[in-house]
Amino acid sequence: MNEDKGMNRPYQGKDIVSKILTNTFREKTFAVYGVKDVPAIKAYLPTELPTIEASDRISDHVFLLEDDSYAIVDYESAYKSENKIKYLEYATRLAKHYFKPGQSLKIRIIVIYTCDVESANDTFKVGAITLKVEQAFLSKIDGSTELSKITEKIKNGEKLTDEDLMRLAVLPLTKKGRKAKEKMIDEVIDTAEMMQKADDAGTSFVLSAMYVAAGNFITAGQEDRIKEVLDMTALGRRYEQEKKQYADYRVAKVYVDLVDRKIQEKGLSEKEACTQVGITTETYEMARAVVDSSKEVEAV
């Protein structure tokens, strides 16, 4: 996004946000924002794609859609024609990563503009290359009205639809200017807390999706609030526990590898190797048990 970032440090729970979105974006659609003829989401994909470029540019989102096309989604708060060069870079990197000989590959570029942009050119031509992006303008959504509708549904005990959740996540971007966006971020956090008891997974999705979409406008205090609420959701607790288990596994594996290496390379006994590493044989045995029981641990 082109506006100065409101967050000067990465949210330490960003891996948790990514995990939550991986499990909750499925079957939702960007059509709710005004993107025409776009299939539903099949999977949320990692954006850290291999690149030989030192700049390591990545998009905000990469999705696999139900028609097996790939969608690169970017949020913009200003229109700049040169940004389309950035989109070409995204598409090239994606194509390098997912292209397979003999198989068709379709890549969509979806640009979602905040309320600060009301129109934009969707085509970029440079000789042999023509890039056409699919666009959505959040200026067409009345954020305050949508928030009122959603909060009323929650108060009446109605379950929010996927469309409601998708709209709620981007409501801050329906406001012009940083202050108005920050105010709406607070209101969305309040709404997410209100719905947690009835829809824990929905709360996780809304806050995680908002974090990614409106992250440039989230203050440090709001970031802390988001983390606090996510930590109370079932998905948040689950992934925090997985992260802790993985951290325990990594520490244990370091000790096991050090001791085993000394046994193999120097012919030491287990006790001698442990002494050189600076741990007791009991600690080594406990570390070995953690490693042996965590062969299939997946990094969070």
Residue 7 structure tokens? 């967050």
State the average pLDDT over residues 158-165: 95
State the average pLDDT over residues 164-171: 96
- Distance (Å, whole) CA 135 – CA 122: 7
- Distance (Å, whole) CA 113 – CA 22: 23
Q: Are 6 and 219 in contact (CB under 8 A)?
A: yes
Model pLDDT for residues 97-142, shown as the tens digit of each residue:
888 898 899 999 999 999 999 999 999 998 899 999 999 999 999 9
Q: Percentage of residues in the chain with pLDDT exceeding 90?
A: 50
Q: What pLDDT does residue 244 have?
A: 56
Residue 133 structure tokens? 């992006």
- Distance (Å, whole) CA 116 – CA 180: 11
pTM of the model: 0.72
Show me where the domains of the chain are located. 14-232, 237-292
Phi, psi for residue 297 in degrees, rounded to 5: -60, 135
CA 137 from chain center: how many Å? Answer: 21
DSSP string, the chain: --SPPS-SS--TTHHHHHHHHHHH-TT--GGGGT-TT-PPEEEEE------S-TT----SEEEEETTS-EEEEEEESS--TTHHHHHHHHHHHHHHHH--TTS---EEEEEEE-TT------EEEETTEEEE-EEEEGGGS-HHHHHHHHHHHHHTTPPPPHHHHHHHHHGGGGSSSHHHHHHHHHHHHHHHHHHTTT-HHHHHHHHHHHHHHSGGG--HHHHHHHHHHHHHSHHHHHHHHHHHHHHHHHHHHHHHHHHHHHHHHH---HHHHHHHHT--HHHHHHHHHHHHTTTTPPP-
Model pLDDT for residues 22-57, shown as the tens digit of each residue:
778 989 999 999 998 899 999 988 665 544 343 445
Residue 73 has pLDDT above 50, yes or no: yes
Q: Who wins on pLDDT, 219 or 21?
A: 219
Q: What pLDDT does residue 206 have?
A: 94
- Distance (Å, whole) CA 7 – CA 97: 30
- Distance (Å, whole) CA 74 – CA 60: 5
